[in-house]
Amino acid sequence: MAPTELVSYRGTPVCPGGIAKETPIHHLPVELLQEIFLHAIPPLSTSIAACLSSSVRNGKEPHPHRVRADIVAVCREWKQIAYGTPALWSTIALDKPLPYDLGIIGNLFVKAQDFPCNVYLRYNHLGNYYYWDGWDHMFFTKIPHLLQQKIGQIRSLIVRADRWPRMRRQQLASQLFLPDTRTDVPRLETFVLLVSYEESMRPSDVEIECPVGNLHAPNIRSLVLGAGFGHVLSCMTLDSLQSLESLSIAFPGGVSTSHLERVFLAQNLTFLDVTDGQQDFLDGLMSPRIPRTHTQNQLAKDKVRFPSVTTFHYAGDDSLTFYTILNAFDVPSVENLALKGPFIDEDSLHFGGAMRLEATQAFRWIQDRHLEKVTRLYLGQLHLNGADFSMLPHVVLERLTCLTLFHCSLDSNFFSRFITMSGEFLRIKKIILYGCAFFTEDFEYYLSLTEEKHFIPIEIRFTRRPSKEEADKVTRLQTVGGNERLAIEPVPEVRGFIFAAGKIF
């Protein structure tokens, strides 16, 4: 393209020096331009962590549709190269409150040709002002129907359904995988149906599991099923379950026998995240919990071995069944272990006489399972004191490199008792206090220790913006301990799955 054409197309005058600098761009090889185009597209659907932290919503990354539009608008040559690069059109993000035309969406699949596509679907409801008549019908009916037709071309399908109407959300899986039919998705590697219970909830017995057909995905590697989608696991074929390497699943109404048995069939997992209830490891406080009733014959009695799992997370909402369900899992090779107890609000703790689960049982479970490879330990919403760590096997104490305490109840002399154990931790680099309430005098005593050999640095993280009183307290503590002994982590800008986003340790 001649420089004059470039100026005319942009509609703005460009100095001769600027034209001289831009001219070499038009002499780049086609292969190099294709690589540049591909690197310009945000990897929305190729990284689960990026999608779970809403990289589109926070506005820090350009939208892939906008990037492609800018590329093809530069010149005729770039447009031809872009249309001849199927991988450039393989990321399809349906997350903006715009009147999507089904023809445009279908055209993206056509431009991608036979290249595996990554689809990101999110109902970004911002009010009726942004919508035209029939938007809901388009988004909740026609788009899933189109995706069902193109399901064989999809490599990653990630759906954030937390803002969807309840009935629409329940019907989603049955729209993608038609009932009474077998759906073959040989290219599907990542499948995420994500939902958080931030809406008002009804009792779990009114939840309806819409029928889903058999799902055959022999190459699937990562599966995330949020609350309300656990039944999808029961519809997957055996070879699909055995091909899984990473599984995160939540059971909003408690763990049923049939669903739990399907989890036990996924024997090749290296990452396992099981949630019994409405918790989903969001770093914000969830809605009030719904009490559930369990009978012992509904729960697994025999432990099931997962020999390949190196990362295991378990969260439960019911104090009566927490350790009963946990005892069903045997993960001898686990290195990253996270256990999160039931949520109890502050009023119940201080005025209602409620108590968190004791961490001693968790340590006893670690001891009974001979989990001698644990290097990172996360304890959430449990009650513990410094002496509890003596129940851990010595080999675990020696191998542990990071200890994270999330909203745990600490005794008034937690750190004083912990001092006697600190010499057992040979490799630990830091202890992370994530939203934990602690006693200032006890903490100051720990920070003022002069013996460096047994001192373990502390890092304080907040799940919300601290009050002035809290900020003043940690500032005073940092003055006592110094930056090397006490670090303060600012409030994260994006709230999302702690585990998936790598914020746990």
* pLDDT beyond 80 at 63: no
Please check the confidence at residue 287 and state whether its pLDDT lies above 80.
no
For 271-308, b/e burial (b = at least 16 CB within 10 A) is bbbbbbbbbbbbbeebeebbebeeeeeebbeeeeebeb
Q: Residue 154's beta-bridge partner residues?
A: 117
- Residue in 233, 217, 154, 216 with CA at minimum distance from that of residue 182: 216
- Region 415-441: mean pLDDT is 79
pLDDT at 336 over 70: yes
Tracing tokens 């763990």 back to the chain, one arrives at 255
| Structure-model confidence comparison of residues 66 and 434, the more confident one | 434
Instruction: For the chain, give the percent of residues with pLDDT over 70.
Output: 65
pLDDT of residue 440: 80
Rg (CA), the chain: 26
Residue 393 CA, chain-centre distance (Å), reads 30
Q: What pLDDT, on a 0 to 100 scale, did the predictor assign at position 200? A: 34
């409030």: which residue's tokens? 491
Angle 369-372-377 (CA atoms, 0-180°, nearest 5)? 90
Does the residue 232 lie in any domain?
no
Within a domain: residue 70? yes
Q: Which residues pair with 469 in a beta bridge?
A: none
Both structure tokens of 310 = 């190196």
Write the pLDDT tens digit of every residue in 11-27: 455 455 544 445 556 66
Question: Quick one: 91 exposed, middle or buried, by C-beta within 10 A (0-12, 13-18, 19+)?
Answer: buried
Q: 20 lies in a domain?
A: yes
Q: Which residues of 167-177 are buried (b: 16+ CB within 10 A; e: fewer)?
A: ebbbbbbbbbb
Specify if 99 maps to a domain: yes
Q: What is the mean pLDDT of residues 251-257?
A: 58
Domain membership flag for residue 342 = no
**Of 138-142, 185-189, 415-419, 442-446, which gets the smallest average pLDDT?**
138-142
DSSP assignment of 428-473 equals --EEEEES-B--HHHHHHHHT---STT---EEEE-SSPPPHHHHHH
Q: Is residue 242 part of a domain?
A: no
What one-character DSSP code corresponds to residue 165?
-
Please tell me the predicted confidence (pLDDT) of residue 208: 54
Burial label for 204, CB within 10 Å (0-12, 13-18, 19+), is middle
Distance, in Å, from the CA atom of 173 to the CA atom of 159, rounded to the nearest integer, reads 10
**Mean pLDDT of all residues in 343-366:** 74
Number of domains present in the structure of the chain:
1
**Residue found by looking up tokens 């038609």 in the block:** 178
Query: What's the DSSP call for residue 236?
Result: B
Find out whether 354 and 381 touch, Cβ atoms under 8 Å. Answer: no
Is position 167 within any domain? no
> Amino acid identity of 297?
N
Predicted confidence (pLDDT) at residue 163 exceeds the cutoff of 70: no
Q: Which residue has the higher pLDDT, 129 or 161?
A: 161
∠ CA 153-158-164, rounded to 5°: 125
Integer Cα distance of 116 and 473 in angstroms: 53
pTM for this prediction: 0.74
| Residue 425 and residue 456 in contact, taking contact as beta carbons nearer than 8 Å | yes
**Considering the domain boundaries, does residue 34 fall inside one?**
yes
Nearest CA to 168 out of 125, 224, 119, 222 is that of 125
The pLDDT assigned to 368 comes to: 85
pLDDT band at 400 (very low <50, low <70, confident <90, very high): confident
**Which domain does 4 fall in, by range?**
1-114
Token code pair at residue 366: 């670690």
Q: Distance of alpha carbon 85 from its chain centroid, rounded?
A: 31
Helix (H, G, I), strand (E, B) or coil at 407: coil
Per-residue pLDDT tens digits for 487-503: 776 654 433 333 333 34
pLDDT tens, 213-240? 788 888 888 888 877 777 788 788 888 8
